[in-house]
Amino acid sequence: MTPKHPDVVVTLTGQDGNSFAVLGRCREAARVAGLSEDEIAAFMDEAMAGDYDQLLQTAMRWFEIR
> What confidence tens digit (pLDDT) does each residue in 13-28 have?
888 889 999 999 999 9
Q: Is the pTM of this model over 0.85?
A: yes
Report how far residue 59's alpha carbon sits from residue 23's, in angstroms, rounded to the nearest whole number.
Answer: 9
Q: In the chain, pLDDT over 70 holds for what percent of residues?
A: 100
Residue 48, pLDDT > 90, answer: yes
Least confident of 10-14, 19-23, 45-49, 57-61: 10-14
> What confidence tens digit (pLDDT) does each residue in 29-44 have?
999 999 999 999 999 9
Q: Which residues contact 65 (CB under 8 A, 6 or more apart)?
A: 3, 10, 11, 12, 59
